[in-house]
Amino acid sequence: MFSTERLTARLWQHGDAERAFDTYSRWEVAQWLGATPKALESPAEVPAMIDRWRQRSADPRYGIWALERKDTGVVAGSVILIPLPDPDGTGNGEIEVGWHLHPDSWGHGFATEAATAALAKGFADGLTEIHAMVRPGNDRSAAVCRRLGMTPQGRTTRWYGGTEFDAFLATRP
């Protein structure tokens, strides 16, 4: 899909299932994700999750991509560039950037590096605005948004079933 100096963003594969489970079964990761955070409970949940992510990547402009480290081949986590749903599920064309990293990949700059590349991809594909939704209290992700130069938009309940998030906005340079 795209790459950075240290990472390759690519489709998730079923061969990544063990790493996906190890990432998304951890509450320290899952607590920040979606309208109703839930950690995976069983490796049996992973194949369907990967299939859903691959379907969301059918349009090459958008996706939930695995972040593979170039130096080790280990998947550090995910980077996302996906349409945001309105509470009624329809959406108005707004796009979200996001990142979900395994805790062993925190603190290495991978989230900022991957999100910078995802933003560049989105803008190159014609987007003029890209949002980030950060659950209140997720100071690490809010810091990534600031490093990306995203503008704080305040709290919103517009997306994800009315769940409250801190909104950030990047505009095409």
Contact by Cβ (8 Å): 114, 67? yes
Tens of pLDDT along 47-104? 999 999 998 888 888 999 999 999 999 999 999 999 987 665 555 679 999 999 999 9
**Total count of domains within the chain:** 1
Give the C-alpha separation, 84 to 91, whole Å.
6
Using left for φ > 0, alpha for ψ between -120 and 50, and beta otherwise, residue 137 falls in left
DSSP state of 172: -
Is pLDDT above 60 for 167? yes
CA distances from residue 100 to 28, 104, 137, 167 in whole angstroms, order as listed = 10, 12, 15, 17
Comparing C-alpha atoms, which of 160, 72, 148, 159 is closest to residue 113? 148
**Would you list the DSSP string of 11-34?**
E--GGGHHHHHHHHT-HHHHTTSS
Q: Read off the tokens for 26.
A: 């951890």
Q: What range defines the domain where residue 110 resides?
A: 2-171
Give the C-alpha separation, 36 to 161, whole Å.
9
Q: What is the CATH number of the domain that holds 59?
A: 3.40.630.30
User: Whole-model pTM?
Assistant: 0.92
Tens of pLDDT along 11-60? 999 999 999 999 999 999 999 998 899 999 999 999 999 999 998 888 88
Those residues whose C-beta lies under 8 Å from the C-beta of residue 142, and which sit 6 or more positions away, are: 134, 166, 168
Instruction: Give Cα 152 to chain centroid, integer Å.
Output: 18
Q: What is the pLDDT of residue 64?
A: 95
Is pLDDT above 70 for 117? yes
Contact by Cβ (8 Å): 111, 133? no
CB atoms < 10 A from the CB of 31, how many? 13
Q: What is the pLDDT of residue 90?
A: 56
